[in-house]
Amino acid sequence: MSDPFFTPISGFDLPRFAGVPTFMRLPHVEFDHPRFSDVQIGLIGAPWDGGTTNRPGPRHGPRQVRDMSTMIRAQNGATGVRPFEAANCADLGDVAPNPADLMDSLQRMERFYARVKAAGIRPLTAGGDHLCTLPILRALAKDAALGMVHFDSHTDLYHSYFGGTMYTHGTPFRRAVEEGLLDPLRVVMIGIRGTAYDNEDRDFAESVGIRVIPIEDFHQRGVADVMAEAREITGSGDTYVSYDIDFVDPAFAPGTGTPEIGGPNSFQAIDVVRHLKGVNIVGADLVEVSPPFDASGATAYLGASIMFELLCMMTA
C-alpha cells in the first residue's frame, strides 16, 4: 500500500495551474526533512549549464520541466504502471551550483548526489547541460563501474575543446570512462547523428568497446530491435540512463542548445524508454532542455513526459 505522504496532489483536488510546482506534484523533501530517509526515488533539479559551448539556457530547464510536469497524472496510460504507488517518490529540490566556477559546481553536485546515494535513494534528474551527468556518475559509481544507456544525437566522447578544456557538455563520457565510472563494454549510445568535427569520438568509442548506434540504423531497424540490443549490452548489472532531449528531432523538441535534424518523433522518444523494462536502473537523467529556445514549454513537457516514463521503468 502506498504511503499517503508520497502521493502527488491530484488535479481533482487542486487545479494544475495552482499551487507551488514540484516535480509531478510530489512532496518537497530536502535533506533535513523528517521523511527524507523514507524516500526511495528522488527527483532532482540540476540548474547549471557551465559546460555549454554554443547556445546557453539549460540552467533554466529544471524550473520549466517542473512547471510542465504538473500535467503528469498517476497512471501510465500505455503500460498501466502506477509509479507513485510502487515507490516513495519525492522532489528533493535543486543542486545549488556555482555559476561562476565550473570545478566548484562539479564538486557541489558530486557531494549532493553522494548524500542521495548514501541514503539509498535512486536519483532521477532534470538538467542542466550534459556535463551535469559526470558528477552524478562520480557519486553513483564510487564502488563499481556502471553500464549506461545513452540517448543523444552526440556521443559526448570528445577529449577536449578549445585546445585543452577538459570539461564541457561534449566530454563527460570520455572523462567517465577514463575515471572508471563506466564500463565501456556495457555502454550503448543511441541516435547519434549530424555533422562532425572529425572521427575522434567514434574512434575512441571503438577503441574501448562502446556500442554506437547511428540514427540511420535506428530508423532502419526500429525501436524494438535497437532496444533489445541495448538490453543485451547492459545485461543485469547496475545501469545508468542518460537522455539528452536533442535525441528527439527538433520539430518535436526545438528547445535545446545543439539540435540535430533527422531524429525520432515524440512517440518514439517515450517508446524507447518503455523498452528499458528489465534494465537495472540505478539512476537516470533528462538533460539539455533550454527554455529560451522554446518559450511555449512544449520541449519541457516532452522532457517531463520522458522523466515519467523513466520513473515507470525505475519502479516496474
- % of the chain exceeding 70 in pLDDT: 100
pTM over 0.85, yes/no: yes
According to DSSP, the β-strands at 122-127 and 146-151 are unpaired
Q: Which residues are within 8 A (CB) of 183 and not within 5 positions of it... i.e. 6 or more apart?
A: 145, 146, 147, 237
Q: Using one digit for the tens of pLDDT, what is the confidence trace for 8-40? A: 999 999 999 999 999 999 999 999 999 999 999
91 is in an annotated binding site: no
For residue 316, the model assigns a pLDDT of 86
152 is in an annotated binding site: yes
Confidence of residue 71 (pLDDT cuts 50, 70, 90): very high
**CB neighbours of residue 287 within 10 Å:** 28
**Cis bond leading into 278, ω under 30°?**
no
Interval 48-65 mean pLDDT: 96
Q: Using one digit for the tens of pLDDT, what is the confidence trace for 84-98? A: 999 999 999 999 999
Dihedral (CA of 215, 219, 221, 227) sign: positive
SS3 content of the chain, % helix, strand, coil (to 5): 40, 15, 45
Is the pLDDT at 214 greater than 90? The verdict is: yes
Spatial contact of 304 and 143, defined as CB atoms under 8 Å apart: no
According to DSSP, the β-strands at 41-46 and 146-151 are unpaired
156 is in an annotated binding site: yes
For residue 2, the model assigns a pLDDT of 77
130 is in an annotated binding site: yes
Q: Using one digit for the tens of pLDDT, what is the confidence trace for 102-152? A: 999 999 999 999 999 999 999 999 999 999 999 999 999 999 999 999 999
Q: Using one digit for the tens of pLDDT, what is the confidence trace for 222-237? A: 999 999 999 999 999 9
What secondary structure does DSSP assign to 205-220, as a single string?
Answer: HHHHT-EEEEHHHHHH
**CB neighbours of residue 202 within 10 Å:** 17
Spatial contact of 83 and 312, defined as CB atoms under 8 Å apart: yes
Is the pLDDT at 290 greater than 80? The verdict is: yes
For residue 304, the model assigns a pLDDT of 98
Average pLDDT, the chain: 97
Class of domain 21-315: alpha beta
Residue 308 to residues 52, 175, 196, Cα–Cα distance (Å) = 26, 28, 32
Spatial contact of 260 and 194, defined as CB atoms under 8 Å apart: yes
* Closest among 267, 269, 223 to 243, alpha carbons compared: 269
Interval 282-307 mean pLDDT: 98
CA 274, CA 310: separation in Å to the nearest integer?
8
The number of angstroms, rounded, from the C-alpha of 44 to the middle of its chain's C-alpha atoms is 10
Confidence of residue 302 (pLDDT cuts 50, 70, 90): very high
Confidence of residue 1 (pLDDT cuts 50, 70, 90): low
Q: What is residue 161's three-state secondary structure? A: strand
Spatial contact of 68 and 300, defined as CB atoms under 8 Å apart: yes
